[in-house]
Every structure is written in structure tokens, then in C-alpha cells.
Amino acid sequence: MRLLDRYISTSILTTFIATLVIFTGLFILFDSTGHLDEFIDRKIPLEIIIQYYLYAMPDIVSQTSSIACLISVLLTYSALSNHNEITVMRASGMNFWKIVRPALIFALFLSVVIFWVNEKFVPYATAEQKEIENQYMILEVDRKYKKEKIIKNLTFYGLRNRLYYIDTFAAKENKLSGITILEYDNNQNLVQKIIALEGRWTGIAWKFYRAQITTYGEKGVRSPLKIKVYNEKLMDIKETPRDFVKQRLNVRAMNIRELGQYIERFADSGANKALNKLRVDYHQKIAYPFGNFVIVLLGLPFALMMKNRKGTTFTSLGIAMAIGFLYYVANAVALALGKGGVLPPTLSAWTAPIIFTGIGLLVIEFDFAN
């Protein structure tokens, strides 16, 4: 049994590595072709381009691992079926779960690895890649476009240990709307909360309109010391409009612990819409890697049901693409519903894994009950 498991696992692993290399190569090829004019016009050094794509590797692996895993599993079991090896296994008394055990173990192991990659490497690599983009790959036209567009739900850490949430930032007009600012001391205790309807950049400082400034004591939100209301007030805020664009929050550049701490510090802001979206992102970071296991569980019964030897490879690829597409569409819809407040954050992140696991188990029960 162990020899058979090793034989199947080796086939899955080699196919997975080959598929992942192909996906990575295709991504770099298409992306570099699309940016070729920019690379030439800006005379970006070759070592910077190589560095840029090296930083992209962890994210590429994370994004393509699930479909690569499914393709490798389906191709392996299709080949076994093509050579009548599945028939021999079933004739020897092996049930469905014993036959697919190596694939499920591999998919579960890969889920854990991708979880680790997302936590350990993706945040740092994403931040470094973004830095290269800002330094070498953004034209003045792009900068002008970024300056003119409206940014919604802007969140970031600022100077003086302040946490900012802005409903909308009109960069062209240097205008803020729906402002919430939380200021903490060195012990992470809330000391001040600033709420304003609107803010405008005067050229040297921010002027807030319809502002309320609450100062807190040792017990935080439960012990406000004083509350002041202003129709308009010049604020002691060092961040310029350029900083507001540059420092906006990038969830991909944060691991689960960092995002959880960010949400915890932001919990008393009253910005429920932004908090809800961040909580969906938080639970998605946990649920996402296990998509590798879920779609393999759903794909395996289809691989074992294929009897026709002709076109087995193309059939396997077609099934893999269809399952992967449906899974990601369902996941995207569930996340959108979660961020829109229709579903709770935890449920929105786990809806697709739960549904597709259920479908997979039903298909297995229906076709392989014996």
C-alpha cells in the first residue's frame, strides 16, 4: 500500500512542479511583454526587472497553486485510469478513499504550505514589489491619473501613532470626506479621537470642517475627559495629500497577525463599513489556502469516473479549468456579499469551501457508495 501511495504521490508532485513552472513562466512572459515599452522607455536595469519578478514569485505560487494541484491530480488519476490501474485497485478491494488518499494528503499538505507562504513571504514580497513599481515603473502620466482619481475607504497608520480612516479622498481637489482619526499612546491606549465631516488641504495644513475632538483618560473610550466641537479648525496633521495616496493600506502586504492587530486597534473607530471589509479580508486569509484541498476533493470523483481513453488529458484539463473557474467565481461572489454586509465576514470567507466540499462529498457518495 505504501509503495502504491508513493508511486501516485511522486506522479502528482512531478506534474504539479511542471505545471507550476509553466504557469509562472507564462505569467512572467505575458506580464513582461505588456510592460516591455515601459522597461525600454524608462531604461530600467535588467537586475531591477529580475528583482521585480522574483518578488512576484510568492504571490504567483499562491494564486496558481490550487489549479496546478487540481490539474496534477486529475492528470495522474486519468493516466492511472487510462492504463486500467484504477480498475485493478478497485478489483483488489480498495475503496474510493484508499485510492485517492495520496492526492488528498498532498492537497492538504499543499494547503498548509501555501498558508505558510502567504504568512511568511507574500506580505514582504508584495511591499517590495510595490516599492519597485513606485520607484521605477510609474510614468508622470500615471502619477497624474493617481492624483486625479477618487480613493474610497482609505485606511493607514500615520505619524504620532495615529490610525486614519477616510470615506473618500478626492486627490485632485485635496479633499477628505468622512474622517475618523484614532490616536494612541506608546502603550497602545486610545488617547484621542477626531471625527470630521470634511477636510481640505490649504497648501501648508489640513483644515477640518464640522469636527469633534474627544480626549480620553486611562480607561479609553469609557472615560472621555473632554469633547470639543468646531465648525472649522486647522489641524496638527503632518501627512500631506501625497502621503495619503502613498500610505494607503495594502492588505496583501500584511499577514494575519498584523491585520488582526490593525482591526483590533480600529475597533473603536465607528467606521463599521471599513471594519467589515477588513474582517472579510482577515478570514479570507485563513480560508483561501484550503481551496487547494477543496477543489481537489471535488475534482477527484470526475477523474475516476472517466472511462474513455481518447482525449483523457484534454478532458482532465477541461474539468480542472471548469471546477477552478466555478470555485473562484463562487468565492468572489461570497466575498463581495460579505464586504457589502449581506453575509457575516467569517461565513463569506468560508462559503465557497463549505459549498464545494459538500458538493464533492455528495458526488462521491452518489457514484462511489460501494
Give the pLDDT confidence of 184-241 residue by residue, as tens digits: 887 777 888 899 999 999 888 899 999 999 888 776 556 677 888 999 989 988 888 8
Write the DSSP symbol of residue 290.
Answer: G
Q: Which three cell numbers stand for residue 305?
A: 469516473
Tell me the CA end-to-end span of the chain in Å, nearest whole number. 20
**In this predicted model, which residue has the larger pLDDT, 306 or 46?**
46
pLDDT at 248: 64
Give the pLDDT confidence of 248-271 residue by residue, as tens digits: 667 778 889 888 887 877 676 666
Please return the burial class of 68, using the count of CB atoms within 10 Å of its CB with bins 0-12, 13-18 and 19+. buried
Lowest model confidence (mean pLDDT) among 59-63, 74-78, 241-245, 296-300 = 241-245
CB 164 within 8 A of CB 154: yes
**In this predicted model, which residue has the larger pLDDT, 212 or 320?**
212
Q: Which candidate, 64, 80, 73, 74, places its Cα nearest to that of 12? A: 73
Q: Which three cell numbers stand for residue 3?
A: 509503495
Rounded distance, CA 108 to CA 146, Å? 41
Q: Which three cell numbers stand for residue 158?
A: 500615520
Supply the mean pLDDT for the chain.
83
Task: Please report, rounded to a whole number, the percentage of residues in the chain having pLDDT higher than 70.
Answer: 88
Phi (first) and psi of residue 237, to 5 degrees: -125, 120
pLDDT > 60? residue 310 = no
pLDDT at 330: 93
CB 282 within 8 A of CB 262: no
pLDDT at 306: 63
Give the pLDDT confidence of 121-155 residue by residue, as tens digits: 998 898 888 888 777 776 554 555 455 577 777 87
pLDDT at 113: 95
Contacts of 70 (CB under 8 A, 6+ apart): 295, 296, 299, 320, 323, 324
Reported as a pLDDT band with limits 50, 70 and 90, residue 54 is: very high
Give the pLDDT confidence of 331-361 residue by residue, as tens digits: 999 999 998 889 999 999 999 999 999 988 8
pLDDT > 80? residue 303 = no
Q: Which candidate, 56, 74, 79, places its Cα nearest to that of 16? A: 74
pLDDT at 316: 65
Task: Please report, rounded to a whole number, the percentage of residues in the chain having pLDDT higher than 90.
Answer: 30
Q: Which candidate, 161, 163, 218, 160, places its Cα nearest to that of 194? A: 163
pLDDT > 60? residue 46 = yes
CB 249 within 8 A of CB 237: no
Q: Which of 164-168, 285-289, 312-316, 321-325 has the highest mean pLDDT?
A: 285-289
Rounded distance, CA 138 to CA 150, Å? 18
Give the pLDDT confidence of 61-118 residue by residue, as tens digits: 999 998 899 889 888 888 887 778 887 888 888 888 888 899 999 999 999 999 999 9
Contacts of 316 (CB under 8 A, 6+ apart): 71, 74, 75, 78, 303, 306
pLDDT at 141: 46
Phi (first) and psi of residue 209, to 5 degrees: -120, 140
Domains defined for the chain, CATH in brackets? 2-126+284-367 (no CATH), 150-249 (2.60.450)
pTM for this model (two decimals): 0.75
Contacts of 104 (CB under 8 A, 6+ apart): 293, 296, 297, 300
Q: Which residue has the cell 470639543?
A: 228
Rounded distance, CA 111 to CA 311, Å? 30
Q: Which residue has the cell 513582461?
A: 32
Strand stretches in 84-189, DSSP E? 150-158, 162-170, 175-184
